[in-house]
Structure 1
Amino acid sequence: MKTVPCPVLLIGLLALLLLPGTVIGQSNADARYIAEHYNKMERHVSMRDGARLFTSIYVPKDDSRTYPILLQRTPYSVAPYGAAYRTQIGPSMLFARDGYVIVYQDVRGRMMSEGEFEAVRPHNPDKTSDTDIDESTDTYDTVSWLLENVPNHNGRVGVWGISAPGFYATHALIDAHPAVKIVSPQAPVTDWWIGDDRHHNGAFQLQASFSFLSFYGQPRPEPTTRRATGFRDYGTPDGYQWYLDLGPLSNVNEKYLHGENKIWNAMMEHPDYDEFWQARTPLPHLKDVKPAVLVVGGFFDAQDLYGPLKTYAAVENNNPGLVNHLVMGPWWHGGWARGSGLRYQDIYFEQPTAAHYRETIELPFFNHYLKDGPDPELPEASIFVTGSNEWHAFDRWPPREAREANLYLAPGGGLSFDRPTGADDYAEYVSDPAKPVPHTSQVVINRDDRYLIQDQRFAATRTDVLVFESGVLQEDVTVAGDLFANLYVVTTGEDADFIVKLIDVYPDTASYVGENPMNVKMGGFQLMVRGEVMRARYRNSFTHPEPMRPGNVTRIEFDMQDVAHTFKAGHRMMVQVQSSWFPMVDRNPQTWVPSIYEAKEEDYQAATHRIYFSRSAPSHLKMKLLE
């Protein structure tokens, strides 16, 4: 492992780039550049089953040389349609200025494309005819058409996408067209049940899913340039109260969607990780991959953190020797593609992390494989470690030099790397579905991903949140790699959710860096390094849920997703444990019902949960420490 310095950029220039007027000016300059240097073509590209997919193609006007093709397939629209041009094209405008044919396509059944849309369409490895389709074949057929019909290309293709387009980029790796030389899935949607977007460890992501699916799942009977709009008639800015008043999840269809939203209905019909969900992850199919791979994600991504980590791991494990790189930075969803990355909300990173990625990693990597540019000699894993605010280069992820350690909950609300020795130590709290713990201190009606980086002091003061805190650290502690929660619990109910947060507590003397219009107090700030939820009914199997036995000690282990963070000397480490995270996560009734999505009002009952930290039941976080 080595620390990678970031190129020094002028602070004054960075400050200007953060000003709204400057951003608008840059956007206008980018739009002018595209209009002056690119021609736009719109075509319907025929697939092997006859469906025609609407495709928008930007071709450099300079025909004195050839260019690689960059392809993004999206369910969110290739707009603008017609004569108007996009104001930015490519993974960043660096690509447009460097010279690429840049292509956007409405995926099957979305916007102006023909066919039937299926969210997270399964890959079909057992095709029985030449007209069987999936996202891999649609990508293959699109690439074949582009090579035959687009002028001035050099025969090489790259595919990229963020979020849902990242899902389609991942499918470009499966049975890839020979011309596809590089694929970059970025925050790719990978498993809507285990860890991305719609569920985490079986717990339904209520607020985000309702607001998103209310437009994403609307019927589209025929091709259109008009985007669907989601539900807006909340009548209040207070999401916490609105979702509490909503009552059981079955009320969503009864009151608002009326059974007309196909994707929402599928969610409600498949509460467990059954064959429906298992078929929809591309991970088992990432074998015999040929293109070079650049997987990108953000440690503060509230939507798709699972996707990049598991996609990288699947490609790595199934394709020995393949060029496969992972980049993880201190970014929100897609934050690496725009802005400087100098800070996220109140947290300052001391360097322009996003600009560093775009300029020294992304563009050089694509240019190497698509233009025979110099090899950027990237490490296997380029990881930004928050806290110490440094880029690190590892030859694999998690780092081979990291050692496993357990951080144990301790009596008196303490934390220790030493195993507890008590015989029957525990702490308990009452979790009441009628008074759930909010996931944010802010009043928000739609999804607001900034909860991930907000001060957690608002939760620490509640009686239904357990708090465990270390002493003041005498030296830095760097956590780098996978993170698992291991809880030993006793409940009076038959089901429960358990939310665990790993938190960095700032010294009381910490001060804010930069302008502070909201007058945020950084002294004692509680930064959530990682938080994750586990629905206890799935503790033994995601496919076959089972009730908890009231009064029995039960071990619950779950993946909290990877971290890369230094707890600085003078800070404290903290763990919070709670059983609701509302309205981001739907409420658990805490009584046994076969499907929570069909629970009735009377099923929601308060329960007492004990968390043990004794010699025989040592609740802890399993982590990797970097010396």
Structure 2
Amino acid sequence: MPIKSRLSFFLIILFSLNVLACAQDKENYIKENYDKNEYRIKMRDGIHLYTIVYSPKDKSKKYPIILTRTPYSVGPYGEDKFARFLGPAEQFVKEGYIFVLQDVRGRFMSEGEFDNMRPHKPNKAKNETDESSDTYDTIEWLVKNIPNNNGKVGMWGNSYPGFYTIMGAIDAHPNLAAVSPQAPISDWFIGDDMHHNGAFSLQMSFNFFKNFGIPRKAPTTQWQRGAEYPSPDNYTFFLKHTPIKKLNENILKNSIPFWDSIMAHGNYDYFWQERSNLKHLKNIKPAVLIVGGWYDAEDLFGPLNIYKTIEKNDKDNQCRIVMGPWTHGSWIATKGDSLGDFYFGSNTADYYRQKILIPFFNYYLKGIGKSLTSDAYMFNTGENKFYQFNQWPPQNVTTSDLFLSPGGKLSFSYDYGSADFSEYISDPWNPVPYTSKFLDSRNFYNRTFMIEDQRYVSTRPDVLTFETEPLDTDFTIAGPIEATLYVSTSSTDADFVVKVIDVYPDDEPNPEPNPNQVEMGGYQRLVRAEIMRGKFRNSYENPAPFTPNKIEEVKIKLNDAFHTFRKGHKIMIQIHSSWFPFFDSNPQTFTDIYNANEKDFVKAQLKVYHSEEYQSKISFKIYGEKQ
């Protein structure tokens, strides 16, 4: 083996040993300072939920409880086996808390039947249950039976556990004083995880449910593993399994009940509507700290819309939100100093944990310190700086429109020209890739694609590009984004992807150091993007076909952003009709896509209009004075 290769191999081994040693040190600390006990807590309908309690060995004082309810296992199981991480951040094990972890109903060692995003029942009969009641019954038992608790309970959870956290805040137990739902799920059809505006999150959903969705035959401590199959790169694999029903026919073979349910409910019917929690977020009593990431491809919709819904329903609540430059859950343990090709100038996640998260729980559960002074702690991804606001979006925002114009121009006022539209041919068998990276199909997805350089698709003939002249001054967007497109198609259905991009000047210096060997001159940095399944343009409940070659309006709501386009940069808008395989390929024929056949997949001519009569535009909320 060459000397250089031997050195690299040695460094990898050394790094791995250091990681293992660090993990063992954390486990040893918990083992030395905490007692571990396991319980089966009885719910009001007689079902027992498996619950692990880590209590400080120091019994000289009382401690608050921090509860996590999860479908992902509370292991390691056994009172002689200890976890390596407790609480919403590593520092919590030294802060003095009782940590409680619970397998939710029907998962791992808990009894009962599991139901994905189990619907809330606002008017329960005596023994009826939902996630709110299971949380209530758990807290009732804990405060009465766990020694040395001070009667204050907090909850936290990330992603699916974030869903259980916000559900626990509905009709909350009076001892539940503070909750931190992090990357919480709110609606699996409109904007979180499994769908965006009705478009199916193919790669992520398949890789999640092929294991998670396997029915549990009996309580177990083990994860169940799905079918094994040949796995080329994700683009090739999912294209070979288009139409989407091939995944069931060739791999899943109807072994995943929830996958079958997805395939049977292609519209926003009762199945999805009853799983949305937004309509139940009323009269929330505990203090709330919502945490999300601007680059979270799974649950960006949830944190923003749960916060806005609580704020709308109760102006006097104690609800706060933090949004940082993070991917899904990366604020829990990483530094948060960089992502992809970009460095953020500081350890943003350390700041959040030390200045926001720990003070939040310490104040509400221990009475230590002061309440957080602001409602919204939002990171500006163009300035690399946290801002504090009394509300989100901020009060002093105005609306600014950018108009699509002939010749690929993007203008602050409509720029008349001879061309009434721009056009492209969309081929569902040659879809636009969502990332430039080729990954194994079993890889969940490329977690950095939401900040990725878009030059890899800018020259594709099926991607429209519009950009401004270099900006004369900084331009800061702060809040939701809406695209209003006037379009036509030669067929009866189409998807529309809208991307907002920050184009760097040609003379932008490369970063130093530059481990990725990135060329920053002309870099097209993705700021925000969203997809709309065209048949849902007027109604998620009642999809409708396009009339071939008829001009129709399509409005697309993009999630919020907080980003400063610097002076000398350009703003770019890209539009195309596929984003594969993160989202499935639309056959472009109005049909039940989940049961479509190959003959339904057709090329279509798409036109996006920018005439005096049909002025397609992107609307932003602008923070500060627009120049």
State TM-score, norm by structure 2: 0.95
1:506 aligns with 2:504: yes
1:122 aligns with 2:122: no
| CA distance, structure 1, for counterparts of residue 151 and residue 22 of structure 2 | 32
* Offset of residue 386 of structure 1: 0.8
Given candidates 429, 440, 457, the residue that maps to 1:459 is 457
Secondary structure of residue in 1 paired with 2:331: helix
Q: Distance in 2 between matches of 1:213 and 1:603?
A: 26
Among 371, 388, 391, the alignment partner of 2:383 is 388
Q: For residue 348 of structure 1, what is the aligned residue in structure 2? A: 343
Contact 1:493 1:591 in 2 (8 A): yes
The residue identity in structure 2 corresponding to 1:606 is K
Q: In the TM superposition, what is the alpha-carbon distance from 1:89 to its structure 2 partner?
A: 0.6
Q: Tell me which amino acid in the other structure corresponds to 1:386.
A: T
8 Å Cα contact 2:437-2:446 kept in structure 1:
no
CA deviation string 1:304-341 (max 9, x = no partner): 00000010011111112011101111110011111111
Q: C-alpha separation between the residues in 1 aligned to 2:307 and 2:227?
A: 35
> Per-residue deviation at 1:425?
1.8
Which among 356, 362, 366 is matched to residue 357 of structure 2?
Answer: 362
Pairing 1:51-200 to 2, within 5 Å after superposition: 51-82=47-78, 83-128=80-125, 130-200=126-196
Q: CA deviation at 1:232?
A: 4.3
SS in 2 for 1:562: strand
Query: Please, what is the CA RMSD of the aligned residues?
Result: 1.4
Aligned to 1:586: 584
What residue number does 1:335 align with? 330
Q: Do the aligned residues in 2 keep the contact of 1:202 with 1:542 (CA within 8 Å)?
A: yes
Distance 2:227 2:415 in 1: 50
Cα distance change, pair 592–235 in 1 and its aligned pair in 2 (3 A)? same
Q: Distance in 1 between matches of 2:319 and 2:404?
A: 37
What is the letter of the counterpart of residue 621 of structure 2?
K
Check the 8 A contact 2:229/2:251 in 1, yes or no.
Answer: no
Q: Which residue of 2 aligns with 1:212?
A: 208
Which one-letter code corresponds to 1:173 in the other structure?
Answer: A
Letter in 2 for 1:148: K
**1:536-555 mapped onto 2 (5 Å cutoff):** 536-555=534-553
SS, match of residue 156 in structure 1: strand
Distance 1:283 1:430, change over 3 A: same
- 1:432-451 equivalences under 5 Å are 432-444=427-439, 445=441, 446=443, 447-451=445-449
Q: Distance in 2 between matches of 1:63 and 1:551?
A: 75
Q: What is the aligned partner in structure 2 of residue 310 from structure 1?
A: 305
Q: Secondary structure at the match of 1:289?
A: coil
Instruction: Name the amino acid aligned to 1:610.
Output: K
Please state if 1:494 is matched with 2:489: no
How far did residue 346 of structure 1 move?
A: 1.1
What is the SS of the residue equivalent to 2:209? helix
For 1:301 and 1:515, how far apart are their aligned partners in 2? 26
C-alpha contact (below 8 Å) 2:406/2:419 kept by paired residues: no
Letter in 1 for 2:598: E
- Contact persistence 2:293–2:328 (CA under 8 A): yes
Is 1:319 aligned to residue 317 of structure 2?
A: no
User: Helix, strand or coil for the counterpart of 1:294?
Assistant: strand
477, 481, 485: which one aligns with 1:479 = 477
Find 1:268's aligned residue among 225, 242, 263. Answer: 263
Taking the aligned partners of 1:144 and 1:423, their CA distance within structure 2 comes to 70
Distance 2:110 2:512 in 1: 46
Amino acid in the other structure paired with 2:259 = W
Q: Does 1:608 align with 2:605?
A: yes
How far, CA to CA, are the matches of 2:98 and 2:511 in structure 1? 41
- How far the C-alpha of 1:620 sits from its partner, in A, is 1.1
CA distance in 2 between counterparts of 1:449 and 1:228 reads 24
Aligned equivalents of 2:64 and 2:512: distance in 1?
Answer: 41
Over residues 534-557 of structure 1, what are the superposed CA-to-partner deviations in whole Å (9 max), with x where a residue is unaligned? Answer: 001000000000001111111000
SS of residue matched to 2:392: coil
Shift of 1:478: 0.5
Q: Measure the CA separation in 2 of the matches of 1:475 and 1:29.
A: 51
Q: 1:21/1:395 Cα in 2 relative to 1: closer, same or farther (>3 Å)?
A: farther
1:422 Cα deviation (Å)?
Answer: 4.4
Match of 1:31 in 2: 27
Contact 1:160–1:169 (8 Å) recurs in 2: yes
TM-score by length of 1: 0.95
Q: CA deviation at 1:162?
A: 0.5
The Cα offsets for residues 250-296 of structure 1, whole Å up to 9 and x where unpaired, read as 11221111112111011001000011111001111111111111111
How much identity, in percent, do the aligned residues show? 47
CA deviation string 1:61-89 (max 9, x = no partner) = 00001100000100011111112111111
C-alpha contact 1:422 1:615 (8 A) present in aligned 2 = no
Aligned-pair CA distance for 1:450? 1.8
Residue 208 of structure 1 and its aligned partner are, at CA, apart by 0.6
Checking the alignment, whether the CA contact within 8 Å between 2:381 and 2:562 is kept in structure 1 is: yes
8 A Cα contact 2:475 2:565, kept in partner: yes
Give 1:231 deviation, angstroms: 4.4
1:252 partner amino acid: L
Post-superposition Cα deviations, 1:120-172, rounded to whole Å, max 9, x if no partner, equal 000011222x2101000000011011112111110000011100000000101
Is the 2:162–2:184 Cα contact (8 Å) retained in structure 1? yes
Match of 2:275 in 1: 280
Q: Is contact 1:420–1:614 with CA below 8 Å preserved after alignment?
A: no
CA distance in 2, matches of 1:259, 1:520: 44
Inter-partner Cα distance in structure 1 for 2:620 and 2:17: 44
CA distance, structure 2, for counterparts of residue 598 and residue 362 of structure 1: 46
Distance 2:185 2:123 in 1: 23
SS of residue paired to 1:336: coil
**SS across alignment from 1:102:** strand
2:361 corresponds to which letter in structure 1? F
Q: Is the CA contact (8 Å cut-off) linking 2:356 and 2:372 kept in structure 1?
A: no
Which stretch of the first structure deviates more once superposed, 196-205 or 516-525?
Answer: 516-525
Partner residue of 1:520? Answer: 518
State whether residues 409 and 415 of structure 1, in contact with CA within 8 Å, keep that contact through their aligned partners in structure 2.
yes
Aligned with 2:448: secondary structure? helix
Out of 379, 401, 412, the position equivalent to 2:396 is: 401
Give a deviation string over 1:361-408, Cα, whole Å, max 9, x none.
000011100000111433111100011111111111111101111111
Q: Match of 1:57, as an amino acid?
A: V
What is the alpha-carbon distance in structure 1 between the residues aligned to residue 471 and residue 18 of structure 2? 42
What secondary structure is seen at the aligned counterpart in 2 of 1:537? helix
Contact 1:346/1:512, CA 8 A, preserved across alignment = no
Aligned to 1:573: 571
Contact 1:423 1:616 in 2 (8 A): no
Cα distance in 2, alignment partners of residues 416 and 52 from structure 1:
61
The separation in 1 between residues aligned to 2:464 and 2:593, in whole angstroms, is: 25
Deviation of residue 562 (structure 1)? 0.3
Query: 1:510: Cα distance to partner?
Result: 2.5
Residue 11 of structure 2 aligns with which residue? none
Instruction: Single out whichever of 505-514 and 568-577 deviates more from structure 2.
Output: 505-514
8 Å contact from structure 1 (residues 211, 231) kept in 2: no
Displacement after TM superposition at 1:229 (Å): 2.1
Q: Greater CA deviation, 508-517 or 42-51? A: 508-517
Unpaired runs of 5+ in structure 2?
Answer: 1-14
CA deviations 1:331-360 (Å, max 9, x no partner) are: 100111111111112111111110000000
CA–CA distance in 1 between the matches of 2:335 and 2:17?
15
Change (3 A) 1:235 1:482: closer
> Which amino acid in the other structure matches residue 219 of structure 2?
P
2: CA distance, partners of 1:297 / 1:454? 19
Q: Please tell me the residue identity of whatever aligns with 2:474.
A: D
> What SS does the aligned partner of 1:308 have?
helix
SS at match of 2:607: strand
SS of equivalent residue, structure 1 residue 45:
strand
